[in-house]
Structure 1
Amino acid sequence: MANRERKNELKIYLSDDEQYILEQKVKVSGMRDKSSFLRHQILYGYVYDIDYSELREYNAALAKIGNNLNQIAKRMNATGNVYAADVKEVKELMKQVWDTQKSMLSKQPYMKQ
């Protein structure tokens, strides 16, 4: 032990879930032990700080769109008619969904595998 290259011990406490996740990641990595895996993560790993505010806004927009679509469907079922204005509104709502999704995806960082 006196000739040990790494002399600084690290002791951490993990929940059962965290321990399980660590064990699974070590297995998938193909590394021989947890220490090697953790050293590799310390030296080469990434930490991502993800801002979910846009996702919350997106979910709120989807909820509004879903409500609008339900109202349109209810009106169509009640009258038995499909109105051009309703079809146009559905198309506009779907365009909002796609535009919002494209905007969110374009702002995500590129991650190399």
Structure 2
Amino acid sequence: MDKHRNKNRSRKYGIVIHLSEDEKYILDEKAKCSNMKSRSAFIRHLIIYGYVYDIDYTELREYNSALAKIGNNLNQIAKRMNATGNVYEADVKEVKELMQKVWHTQKSMLSRQPSIKQ
């Protein structure tokens, strides 16, 4: 009798996957690190308990773009302060407003992050 067709086997369905050399290496290393009995046990564990993350980086890109603009504004203020040797109240106010934008943007972005539930 073919060992893969054992009628007493509780798991009757096999699958075939095709991996690149790098993917196979990663699978082998992760399975080894898991201390599970076999790659099959490791893969079954991933199927049952693992997560697939579909991450949309749109908000992060927008956040980084906003931070870059704020950074440019801060640099312009710093150059003006260095050139004149003076700190202007309007510049200080603008820096405070920019920092509020940073905190508001960050808080808004973090509040929209999904929580992982089991």
TM-score above 0.5: yes
Q: What is the distance in 2 between the residues matched to 1:33 and 1:55?
A: 38
The normalised TM-score by structure 1 is 0.82
The aligned length equals 113
2:39 to 34, 41, 60: 34
| 11-20 vs 59-68, greater mean Cα deviation | 11-20
Q: For residue 53 of structure 1, report the CA deviation from its aligned partner.
A: 1.1
Distance 2:25 2:93 in 1: 50
Change (3 A) 1:21 1:98: farther
How many Å separate the matches in 2 of 1:21 and 1:41? 14
Aligned partner of 2:64 in structure 1 is 59
Indicate which of 30, 40, 48 corresponds to 1:43.
Answer: 48
Consecutive aligned runs of 4 or more in structure 1 exceeding 4 Å deviation: none
> In the alignment, is residue 96 of structure 1 matched against residue 118 of structure 2?
no
Q: Which has the larger radius of gyration?
A: 2
% identity of equivalent residues: 73
Q: Structure 2 vs 1, CA of residues 112 and 26 (structure 1 numbering), >3 Å: closer, same or farther?
A: farther
Which 5+ residue runs of structure 1 have no aligned equivalent? none
User: Aligned residue for 2:14?
Assistant: 9
